[in-house]
Amino acid sequence: MQNYKFIISYDGTRYHGWEKKPGIDTIQGKVEGVLNRMVGADGANEVNLIGAGRTDAGVHARAMTASALLETKLSEAQIQEYMNTYLPEDISINEVKVCSDRFHARYNAIGKTYRYTCWYGASKPVFDRKYVTILDAEPDVDKMKEAAGFLVGEHDFKSFCGNPKMKKSTVRNVDAINIEKSGNYIRFYFHGNGFLQNMVRILTGTLLEVGYGNIPPQRVKDILSACDRKQAGPTARPEGLCMMKVDY
């Protein structure tokens, strides 16, 4: 058995997230299915693909990192070719590398970058429609940047966690939030050591409320310290979110 590292891109539009679920199309389930077919695994010896994170239903990835132990005589290039031949067109294996037996895609990750893309305007983003969230009006970017400054650093992000039954620590370090406007596009970039369930989408939804004048920028500090999901803004739609990179 050899440990392999995979870099995977996917359009999450028609999938119920990364994590495998019985009878439901997921990214992990699709990739594991092809790997099991490739190595001829039986029910007792199926491949376990470990992802760096668990993206939600409808969320995309440009560079999800994953790892799996495989018993195969195929080269890295042959594994990549096989997988891309049999995976659907909305999932791509961009890289396959033999790695250390101790490498673990999730536990060894030290940072992640997510991008959330919004669009506003009188026309429609026809060719980007599956990858952006369409806004009703233009938000105030300067106010959102001011509010984002209060969110940077190590904090308890319980107010921005979508799992009310979360028992583990909700403390995370978000070391950068950048908001960029280009034409009709507004892109939010989040980098941190890890993110809670729905956290990036709730952060984005809250910042957009600030941009629309519904929440004063300074109030974000109170929302953060409240540790109460009800105090934060709505969970932004999934289609605008994309995992961009995992750091090791």
- Is 56 marked active-site? yes
Q: Is 199 helix (H, G, I), strand (E, B) or coil?
A: helix
Out of 42, 56, 136, 142, which one is annotated catalytic?
A: 56
Please give the positions annotated as active site: 56
